[in-house]
Amino acid sequence: MDPALLMIVTLVGMTVAILIGVQVGLALGMAGLLGTYFLFGDLDKAFGALGSAAYNVLRNELFASIPLFILMGDFVARSGAARDLYRLVNRGLARIPGRLAVATVIGNAVFAAVTGVSLAAASAFSRIAYPQMRDHGYRRTFAIGSVAGSACLGMLIPPSVLLIIWGIVTETSIGKLFIAGVIPGIILTGLFALYVIVAAKLNPSLAPPVPAEPDQVFNSKEAVSGIGILGLMTLVLGGIWTGFFTPAEASGIGALGAMGFGIVKGMRWPDIAEAAIDAGRSSAPIMFLILAAAIFSRFLALGGVTDTLTDALTSLGTSPSLVILTMVLIWLALGMILDSSSIILLTVPIFAPVAVSFGFDPIAFAIFGILAIEAGLLTPPVGLLVYAVKGAVPDDSVTLGEIFSGATPYWLLILVAMGLVWMFPALATWLPS
Protein backbone atom coordinates (compact mmCIF):
# COMPACT_ATOMS: atom_id res chain seq x y z
CA MET A 1 0.00 0.00 0.00
CA ASP A 2 1.18 3.52 -0.75
CA PRO A 3 2.76 4.95 2.47
CA ALA A 4 0.88 8.25 2.22
CA LEU A 5 -2.48 6.52 1.82
CA LEU A 6 -1.59 4.06 4.57
CA MET A 7 -0.77 6.93 6.92
CA ILE A 8 -4.10 8.61 6.22
CA VAL A 9 -6.05 5.39 6.77
CA THR A 10 -4.08 4.62 9.94
CA LEU A 11 -4.57 8.12 11.39
CA VAL A 12 -8.29 8.10 10.60
CA GLY A 13 -8.69 4.65 12.16
CA MET A 14 -6.76 5.69 15.25
CA THR A 15 -8.80 8.88 15.64
CA VAL A 16 -12.08 6.97 15.33
CA ALA A 17 -10.89 4.43 17.90
CA ILE A 18 -10.02 7.18 20.39
CA LEU A 19 -13.35 8.96 19.84
CA ILE A 20 -15.36 5.79 20.53
CA GLY A 21 -13.52 5.26 23.80
CA VAL A 22 -10.49 3.08 23.05
CA GLN A 23 -7.61 3.95 25.38
CA VAL A 24 -5.10 6.23 23.66
CA GLY A 25 -2.15 3.90 24.27
CA LEU A 26 -3.98 0.92 22.76
CA ALA A 27 -5.05 2.99 19.77
CA LEU A 28 -1.48 4.20 19.21
CA GLY A 29 0.05 0.76 19.55
CA MET A 30 -2.50 -0.96 17.31
CA ALA A 31 -2.14 1.77 14.68
CA GLY A 32 1.61 1.27 14.66
CA LEU A 33 1.36 -2.53 14.57
CA LEU A 34 -1.29 -2.69 11.84
CA GLY A 35 0.40 0.06 9.84
CA THR A 36 3.70 -1.82 9.91
CA TYR A 37 1.94 -5.05 8.92
CA PHE A 38 0.25 -3.50 5.91
CA LEU A 39 3.49 -1.73 5.00
CA PHE A 40 5.44 -5.00 4.71
CA GLY A 41 2.65 -7.55 4.42
CA ASP A 42 4.45 -9.70 6.98
CA LEU A 43 3.19 -10.19 10.53
CA ASP A 44 6.59 -11.41 11.78
CA LYS A 45 8.23 -8.20 10.59
CA ALA A 46 5.49 -6.16 12.24
CA PHE A 47 6.01 -7.89 15.60
CA GLY A 48 9.77 -7.61 15.18
CA ALA A 49 9.49 -3.86 14.68
CA LEU A 50 7.20 -3.68 17.72
CA GLY A 51 9.68 -5.52 19.92
CA SER A 52 12.62 -3.48 18.65
CA ALA A 53 10.84 -0.18 19.32
CA ALA A 54 9.80 -1.26 22.81
CA TYR A 55 13.31 -2.47 23.65
CA ASN A 56 14.95 0.75 22.47
CA VAL A 57 12.64 2.83 24.67
CA LEU A 58 12.87 0.62 27.75
CA ARG A 59 16.66 0.56 27.71
CA ASN A 60 16.78 4.38 27.62
CA GLU A 61 17.70 5.63 31.09
CA LEU A 62 15.51 8.69 30.58
CA PHE A 63 12.52 6.35 30.78
CA ALA A 64 13.22 6.03 34.52
CA SER A 65 13.26 9.77 35.12
CA ILE A 66 9.49 10.16 34.67
CA PRO A 67 8.32 8.07 37.66
CA LEU A 68 11.18 9.41 39.79
CA PHE A 69 10.31 13.06 39.12
CA ILE A 70 6.65 12.27 39.81
CA LEU A 71 7.69 10.56 43.05
CA MET A 72 9.71 13.64 43.99
CA GLY A 73 6.64 15.79 43.50
CA ASP A 74 4.46 13.42 45.53
CA PHE A 75 6.88 13.57 48.46
CA VAL A 76 6.85 17.37 48.36
CA ALA A 77 3.06 17.53 48.08
CA ARG A 78 2.46 15.08 50.94
CA SER A 79 4.93 16.88 53.21
CA GLY A 80 2.62 19.91 53.37
CA ALA A 81 5.27 22.10 51.76
CA ALA A 82 2.83 23.48 49.18
CA ARG A 83 0.67 25.03 51.92
CA ASP A 84 3.72 26.43 53.71
CA LEU A 85 5.10 27.77 50.45
CA TYR A 86 1.85 29.58 49.70
CA ARG A 87 1.82 31.22 53.13
CA LEU A 88 5.48 32.15 52.85
CA VAL A 89 5.03 33.84 49.48
CA ASN A 90 1.81 35.51 50.58
CA ARG A 91 3.48 37.09 53.62
CA GLY A 92 6.28 38.41 51.47
CA LEU A 93 3.82 40.28 49.21
CA ALA A 94 2.02 42.28 51.88
CA ARG A 95 1.86 45.56 49.90
CA ILE A 96 0.97 44.16 46.47
CA PRO A 97 -2.61 44.43 45.10
CA GLY A 98 -4.26 41.04 44.71
CA ARG A 99 -1.46 39.51 46.74
CA LEU A 100 -3.26 36.23 47.44
CA ALA A 101 -3.70 35.60 43.71
CA VAL A 102 -0.10 36.70 43.04
CA ALA A 103 1.03 34.29 45.76
CA THR A 104 -0.94 31.57 43.97
CA VAL A 105 0.85 32.31 40.70
CA ILE A 106 4.32 32.43 42.26
CA GLY A 107 3.59 29.45 44.49
CA ASN A 108 2.50 27.44 41.46
CA ALA A 109 5.67 28.44 39.61
CA VAL A 110 7.94 27.34 42.45
CA PHE A 111 5.88 24.22 43.09
CA ALA A 112 6.20 23.39 39.38
CA ALA A 113 9.98 23.42 39.75
CA VAL A 114 9.81 20.43 42.08
CA THR A 115 6.81 18.52 40.69
CA GLY A 116 6.73 19.08 36.92
CA VAL A 117 3.07 18.06 36.75
CA SER A 118 0.25 20.56 36.20
CA LEU A 119 -2.46 18.37 37.69
CA ALA A 120 -0.54 18.11 40.97
CA ALA A 121 -0.32 21.91 41.20
CA ALA A 122 -3.99 22.32 40.25
CA SER A 123 -5.07 19.85 42.93
CA ALA A 124 -2.86 21.35 45.65
CA PHE A 125 -3.68 25.02 45.11
CA SER A 126 -7.39 24.41 44.52
CA ARG A 127 -7.53 23.21 48.12
CA ILE A 128 -5.01 25.66 49.59
CA ALA A 129 -5.30 29.00 47.79
CA TYR A 130 -8.91 29.16 46.63
CA PRO A 131 -10.49 29.00 50.14
CA GLN A 132 -8.06 31.67 51.36
CA MET A 133 -8.99 34.03 48.53
CA ARG A 134 -12.71 33.48 49.00
CA ASP A 135 -12.44 34.03 52.77
CA HIS A 136 -10.91 37.45 52.04
CA GLY A 137 -13.64 38.52 49.62
CA TYR A 138 -12.02 37.73 46.26
CA ARG A 139 -14.47 37.40 43.40
CA ARG A 140 -15.03 33.73 42.69
CA THR A 141 -14.08 33.76 39.00
CA PHE A 142 -10.93 35.77 39.75
CA ALA A 143 -9.87 33.40 42.52
CA ILE A 144 -10.53 30.15 40.69
CA GLY A 145 -9.07 31.55 37.47
CA SER A 146 -5.74 32.27 39.13
CA VAL A 147 -5.56 28.66 40.32
CA ALA A 148 -6.45 27.07 36.98
CA GLY A 149 -4.38 29.47 34.88
CA SER A 150 -1.18 29.32 36.89
CA ALA A 151 -1.34 25.51 37.23
CA CYS A 152 -0.22 25.38 33.58
CA LEU A 153 3.24 26.53 34.66
CA GLY A 154 4.00 22.98 35.77
CA MET A 155 4.19 21.91 32.13
CA LEU A 156 6.85 24.43 31.17
CA ILE A 157 9.09 25.11 34.14
CA PRO A 158 11.69 22.34 34.56
CA PRO A 159 11.79 19.57 35.52
CA SER A 160 8.61 19.23 33.45
CA VAL A 161 7.47 15.67 32.75
CA LEU A 162 6.16 16.84 29.38
CA LEU A 163 9.58 18.14 28.39
CA ILE A 164 11.00 14.72 29.25
CA ILE A 165 8.39 13.00 27.09
CA TRP A 166 9.03 15.44 24.25
CA GLY A 167 12.76 14.77 24.52
CA ILE A 168 12.26 10.99 24.45
CA VAL A 169 9.95 11.16 21.42
CA THR A 170 12.19 13.50 19.42
CA GLU A 171 15.53 12.22 20.78
CA THR A 172 16.38 15.73 21.94
CA SER A 173 18.62 16.51 24.92
CA ILE A 174 16.46 16.68 28.06
CA GLY A 175 19.00 19.02 29.68
CA LYS A 176 18.72 21.47 26.78
CA LEU A 177 14.93 21.33 26.94
CA PHE A 178 15.00 22.04 30.68
CA ILE A 179 17.26 25.04 30.11
CA ALA A 180 15.03 26.20 27.25
CA GLY A 181 11.97 26.26 29.51
CA VAL A 182 13.48 28.58 32.13
CA ILE A 183 13.20 32.03 30.49
CA PRO A 184 9.77 31.43 28.87
CA GLY A 185 8.59 30.04 32.24
CA ILE A 186 9.80 33.15 34.07
CA ILE A 187 8.23 35.41 31.43
CA LEU A 188 4.88 33.61 31.63
CA THR A 189 4.93 33.73 35.44
CA GLY A 190 5.66 37.46 35.24
CA LEU A 191 2.81 38.02 32.77
CA PHE A 192 0.38 36.15 35.04
CA ALA A 193 1.47 38.11 38.12
CA LEU A 194 1.33 41.42 36.22
CA TYR A 195 -2.20 40.69 35.04
CA VAL A 196 -3.34 39.98 38.61
CA ILE A 197 -1.76 43.17 39.98
CA VAL A 198 -3.16 45.40 37.23
CA ALA A 199 -6.64 43.84 37.41
CA ALA A 200 -6.76 44.17 41.21
CA LYS A 201 -5.53 47.76 41.02
CA LEU A 202 -8.07 48.80 38.39
CA ASN A 203 -10.97 46.92 39.97
CA PRO A 204 -10.47 46.43 43.73
CA SER A 205 -13.73 44.49 43.95
CA LEU A 206 -11.98 41.57 42.24
CA ALA A 207 -9.45 41.29 45.05
CA PRO A 208 -10.13 43.50 48.10
CA PRO A 209 -7.03 44.51 50.09
CA VAL A 210 -6.23 41.93 52.75
CA PRO A 211 -5.81 43.52 56.20
CA ALA A 212 -2.55 42.90 58.01
CA GLU A 213 -2.67 39.99 60.41
CA PRO A 214 -1.05 40.22 63.84
CA ASP A 215 0.61 36.81 63.42
CA GLN A 216 2.03 37.70 60.05
CA VAL A 217 5.57 36.65 60.83
CA PHE A 218 7.71 33.96 59.33
CA ASN A 219 7.74 30.81 61.42
CA SER A 220 10.24 27.98 61.45
CA LYS A 221 7.89 25.51 59.76
CA GLU A 222 7.45 27.74 56.73
CA ALA A 223 11.15 28.58 56.69
CA VAL A 224 12.01 24.86 56.54
CA SER A 225 9.61 24.44 53.61
CA GLY A 226 11.06 27.41 51.75
CA ILE A 227 14.65 26.33 52.30
CA GLY A 228 13.82 22.71 51.45
CA ILE A 229 12.09 23.54 48.17
CA LEU A 230 14.86 25.98 47.20
CA GLY A 231 17.42 23.30 48.05
CA LEU A 232 15.65 20.71 45.88
CA MET A 233 15.45 23.14 42.96
CA THR A 234 19.15 23.93 43.27
CA LEU A 235 20.10 20.28 43.64
CA VAL A 236 18.14 19.01 40.64
CA LEU A 237 18.34 21.87 38.16
CA GLY A 238 21.78 23.06 39.21
CA GLY A 239 23.18 19.56 38.92
CA ILE A 240 21.75 19.15 35.41
CA TRP A 241 22.85 22.55 34.14
CA THR A 242 26.38 22.25 35.49
CA GLY A 243 26.69 18.76 34.01
CA PHE A 244 27.34 17.23 37.42
CA PHE A 245 24.72 14.58 36.70
CA THR A 246 22.33 13.62 33.92
CA PRO A 247 18.56 14.26 34.01
CA ALA A 248 17.98 10.58 34.82
CA GLU A 249 20.44 10.73 37.71
CA ALA A 250 18.93 14.04 38.83
CA SER A 251 15.50 12.44 39.07
CA GLY A 252 16.79 9.77 41.44
CA ILE A 253 18.74 12.24 43.53
CA GLY A 254 15.76 14.59 43.59
CA ALA A 255 13.40 11.82 44.73
CA LEU A 256 15.83 10.83 47.48
CA GLY A 257 16.24 14.45 48.57
CA ALA A 258 12.46 14.99 48.55
CA MET A 259 11.99 11.89 50.70
CA GLY A 260 14.50 13.23 53.22
CA PHE A 261 12.75 16.60 53.12
CA GLY A 262 9.41 14.91 53.70
CA ILE A 263 10.76 13.01 56.70
CA VAL A 264 12.02 16.29 58.19
CA LYS A 265 8.53 17.73 57.63
CA GLY A 266 6.91 14.85 59.50
CA MET A 267 6.27 12.16 56.90
CA ARG A 268 6.49 8.57 58.13
CA TRP A 269 6.91 5.24 56.37
CA PRO A 270 3.18 4.76 55.64
CA ASP A 271 3.17 8.20 53.96
CA ILE A 272 6.28 7.30 51.97
CA ALA A 273 4.72 4.02 50.85
CA GLU A 274 1.52 5.78 49.78
CA ALA A 275 3.53 8.35 47.82
CA ALA A 276 5.42 5.56 46.03
CA ILE A 277 2.17 3.77 45.17
CA ASP A 278 0.54 6.98 43.91
CA ALA A 279 3.62 7.78 41.81
CA GLY A 280 3.41 4.31 40.29
CA ARG A 281 -0.27 4.79 39.49
CA SER A 282 0.46 8.13 37.83
CA SER A 283 3.52 6.88 35.95
CA ALA A 284 2.23 3.58 34.57
CA PRO A 285 -0.22 5.08 32.03
CA ILE A 286 2.46 7.52 30.84
CA MET A 287 5.01 4.74 30.42
CA PHE A 288 2.55 2.62 28.46
CA LEU A 289 1.75 5.60 26.25
CA ILE A 290 5.44 6.13 25.51
CA LEU A 291 5.86 2.48 24.56
CA ALA A 292 2.84 2.67 22.25
CA ALA A 293 4.11 5.91 20.74
CA ALA A 294 7.48 4.28 20.07
CA ILE A 295 5.70 1.59 18.04
CA PHE A 296 3.76 4.24 16.12
CA SER A 297 6.90 6.32 15.54
CA ARG A 298 8.72 3.24 14.19
CA PHE A 299 5.88 2.76 11.68
CA LEU A 300 6.18 6.39 10.59
CA ALA A 301 9.95 6.05 10.17
CA LEU A 302 9.83 2.72 8.29
CA GLY A 303 7.21 4.02 5.91
CA GLY A 304 8.96 7.34 5.34
CA VAL A 305 5.67 8.95 6.31
CA THR A 306 7.18 12.14 7.72
CA ASP A 307 9.30 12.67 4.60
CA THR A 308 6.27 12.04 2.42
CA LEU A 309 4.20 14.56 4.38
CA THR A 310 6.99 17.16 4.27
CA ASP A 311 7.46 16.71 0.53
CA ALA A 312 3.71 17.03 -0.01
CA LEU A 313 3.53 20.27 1.98
CA THR A 314 6.57 21.66 0.18
CA SER A 315 5.21 20.78 -3.26
CA LEU A 316 1.98 22.57 -2.43
CA GLY A 317 3.94 25.73 -1.70
CA THR A 318 2.43 25.83 1.76
CA SER A 319 3.66 28.70 3.91
CA PRO A 320 5.67 27.50 6.94
CA SER A 321 3.69 29.91 9.11
CA LEU A 322 0.43 28.39 7.89
CA VAL A 323 1.71 24.90 8.68
CA ILE A 324 2.66 25.93 12.22
CA LEU A 325 -0.71 27.67 12.68
CA THR A 326 -2.45 24.45 11.63
CA MET A 327 -0.40 22.54 14.21
CA VAL A 328 -1.42 25.02 16.92
CA LEU A 329 -5.10 24.68 16.04
CA ILE A 330 -4.80 20.89 16.21
CA TRP A 331 -3.06 21.14 19.61
CA LEU A 332 -5.77 23.45 20.95
CA ALA A 333 -8.49 21.10 19.72
CA LEU A 334 -6.82 18.00 21.14
CA GLY A 335 -6.26 19.77 24.47
CA MET A 336 -10.01 19.81 24.94
CA ILE A 337 -10.32 16.01 24.93
CA LEU A 338 -6.90 14.44 25.67
CA ASP A 339 -4.23 14.72 28.34
CA SER A 340 -0.97 16.47 27.51
CA SER A 341 1.25 13.40 27.29
CA SER A 342 -1.18 11.76 24.85
CA ILE A 343 -1.19 14.87 22.69
CA ILE A 344 2.61 14.91 22.50
CA LEU A 345 2.81 11.22 21.70
CA LEU A 346 0.11 11.45 19.02
CA THR A 347 1.34 14.55 17.22
CA VAL A 348 4.99 15.31 17.88
CA PRO A 349 6.41 12.36 15.90
CA ILE A 350 4.78 13.96 12.83
CA PHE A 351 4.88 17.66 13.70
CA ALA A 352 8.46 18.04 14.96
CA PRO A 353 10.27 16.72 11.84
CA VAL A 354 8.00 18.80 9.59
CA ALA A 355 8.71 21.97 11.61
CA VAL A 356 12.47 21.30 11.56
CA SER A 357 12.35 20.71 7.78
CA PHE A 358 10.88 24.20 7.43
CA GLY A 359 13.84 25.66 9.32
CA PHE A 360 12.46 25.97 12.85
CA ASP A 361 14.85 25.37 15.72
CA PRO A 362 13.88 22.05 17.38
CA ILE A 363 14.43 23.38 20.93
CA ALA A 364 12.40 26.56 20.36
CA PHE A 365 9.68 24.53 18.63
CA ALA A 366 9.48 22.24 21.67
CA ILE A 367 8.80 25.17 24.01
CA PHE A 368 6.36 26.65 21.50
CA GLY A 369 4.54 23.32 21.34
CA ILE A 370 4.39 22.90 25.11
CA LEU A 371 2.84 26.37 25.39
CA ALA A 372 0.23 25.50 22.77
CA ILE A 373 -0.64 22.30 24.62
CA GLU A 374 -0.90 24.31 27.85
CA ALA A 375 -3.42 26.60 26.18
CA GLY A 376 -5.36 23.59 24.94
CA LEU A 377 -5.89 22.41 28.51
CA LEU A 378 -7.72 25.66 29.26
CA THR A 379 -9.69 25.80 26.00
CA PRO A 380 -13.50 25.52 26.36
CA PRO A 381 -15.71 23.60 26.28
CA VAL A 382 -13.67 20.62 27.51
CA GLY A 383 -10.28 21.85 28.78
CA LEU A 384 -9.06 18.98 30.92
CA LEU A 385 -7.19 21.14 33.44
CA VAL A 386 -10.42 23.03 34.14
CA TYR A 387 -12.13 19.73 34.96
CA ALA A 388 -9.25 18.81 37.27
CA VAL A 389 -9.69 22.07 39.18
CA LYS A 390 -13.45 21.54 39.33
CA GLY A 391 -12.90 18.11 40.87
CA ALA A 392 -10.37 19.35 43.43
CA VAL A 393 -11.79 22.68 44.60
CA PRO A 394 -13.63 22.41 47.96
CA ASP A 395 -16.66 24.36 46.75
CA ASP A 396 -19.40 22.44 44.93
CA SER A 397 -21.07 25.67 43.82
CA VAL A 398 -18.19 26.56 41.47
CA THR A 399 -19.24 25.92 37.87
CA LEU A 400 -17.15 25.00 34.86
CA GLY A 401 -18.26 28.23 33.20
CA GLU A 402 -16.82 30.27 36.05
CA ILE A 403 -13.50 28.45 35.85
CA PHE A 404 -13.30 28.93 32.07
CA SER A 405 -14.21 32.60 32.47
CA GLY A 406 -11.61 33.19 35.17
CA ALA A 407 -8.91 31.31 33.23
CA THR A 408 -9.49 33.15 29.93
CA PRO A 409 -6.96 35.97 30.63
CA TYR A 410 -4.32 33.34 31.43
CA TRP A 411 -5.18 31.49 28.22
CA LEU A 412 -4.63 34.71 26.27
CA LEU A 413 -1.31 35.34 28.04
CA ILE A 414 -0.13 31.85 27.09
CA LEU A 415 -0.82 32.78 23.47
CA VAL A 416 1.23 35.96 24.01
CA ALA A 417 4.11 33.86 25.34
CA MET A 418 3.81 31.61 22.28
CA GLY A 419 4.10 34.67 20.07
CA LEU A 420 7.22 35.81 21.91
CA VAL A 421 8.90 32.42 21.47
CA TRP A 422 7.86 32.46 17.79
CA MET A 423 9.32 35.93 17.17
CA PHE A 424 12.33 35.56 19.48
CA PRO A 425 13.43 31.90 19.49
CA ALA A 426 16.56 32.97 21.37
CA LEU A 427 14.36 33.05 24.49
CA ALA A 428 14.48 29.26 24.38
CA THR A 429 17.94 28.82 22.83
CA TRP A 430 19.80 31.28 25.01
CA LEU A 431 22.69 28.94 25.77
CA PRO A 432 25.09 27.73 23.07
CA SER A 433 24.79 24.11 21.95
C-alpha to C-alpha distance for 1 and 393, rounded to whole angstroms: 51
| The predicted structure's pLDDT at residue 323 | 85
Q: Which residues of 354-383 are buried (b: 16+ CB within 10 A; e: fewer)?
A: bbebbebbbbbbbbbbbbbbbbbbbbeebb
Q: Can you point out the beta strands (E) in 198-314?
A: none
User: For 178-230, what is each residue's pLDDT tens digit?
Assistant: 889 889 999 999 999 999 999 999 998 898 887 655 445 556 777 777 778 77
| Cα 49 from chain centroid (whole Å) | 30
Among 41-45, 55-59, 394-398, which stretch is predicted with the lowest mean pLDDT? 55-59
Q: Check pLDDT > 90 for residue 409.
A: yes
Which of 86-90, 123-127, 313-317, 410-414 reaches the highest mean pLDDT? 410-414
Phi–psi pair at 294, nearest 5 degrees? -65, -40
Residue of 193, 198, 187 lying closest to 106 (CA atoms): 193
Percent pLDDT > 90 in the chain is: 14
| The predicted structure's pLDDT at residue 315 | 66
Q: Check pLDDT > 90 for residue 48.
A: no
Read out DSSP for 397-409? T--HHHHHHHHHH
| The predicted structure's pLDDT at residue 45 | 77
| The predicted structure's pLDDT at residue 317 | 64
Domain boundaries along the sequence of the chain: 3-427
| The predicted structure's pLDDT at residue 214 | 47
Contact 393, 126 (CB under 8 A): yes
- Is the bond leading into 159 cis (omega within 30 degrees of zero)? yes
Residue of 367, 198, 161, 369 lying closest to 282 (CA atoms): 161
Helix 81-91 vs helix 99-115: angle between axes, to the nearest 10 degrees? 140
Cα–Cα distances in angstroms (integers) from residue 418 to residues 159, 177, 356, 361, 431, in the given order: 20, 16, 17, 14, 19
Residue 170 or residue 11, greater confidence: 170
Phi–psi pair at 117, nearest 5 degrees? -130, 120
| The predicted structure's pLDDT at residue 50 | 76
- Is the bond leading into 381 cis (omega within 30 degrees of zero)? yes
Q: Check pLDDT > 60 for residue 432.
A: no
Q: Check pLDDT > 60 for residue 166.
A: yes
Phi–psi pair at 379, nearest 5 degrees? -85, 125
Contact 103, 287 (CB under 8 A): no
| The predicted structure's pLDDT at residue 211 | 66
User: For 412-428, what is each residue's pLDDT tens digit?
Assistant: 999 999 999 999 998 98
Other CB atoms closer than 10 Å to residue 285's CB: what's the count? Answer: 15
Residue 233 or residue 366, greater confidence: 366
Helix 320-335 vs helix 340-357: angle between axes, to the nearest 10 degrees? 180
| The predicted structure's pLDDT at residue 198 | 94
Q: Check pLDDT > 70 for residue 233.
A: yes
The mean pLDDT of 320-344, rounded to a whole number, is 82
Answer whether 0.85 is exceeded by the pTM.
no
- For 171-238, where are the alpha helices, taking DSSP H only? 174-202, 220-233
- First CA to last CA distance, the chain: 41
The mean pLDDT of 336-354, rounded to a whole number, is 81
| The predicted structure's pLDDT at residue 230 | 79
Write down how long the chain is.
433
| The predicted structure's pLDDT at residue 154 | 77
Mean pLDDT, rounded, of the chain: 81
Residue 346 or residue 316, greater confidence: 346
Cα–Cα distances in angstroms (integers) from residue 156 to residues 167, 180, 295, 321, in the given order: 13, 9, 26, 23
| The predicted structure's pLDDT at residue 415 | 93
The mean pLDDT of 233-240, rounded to a whole number, is 81
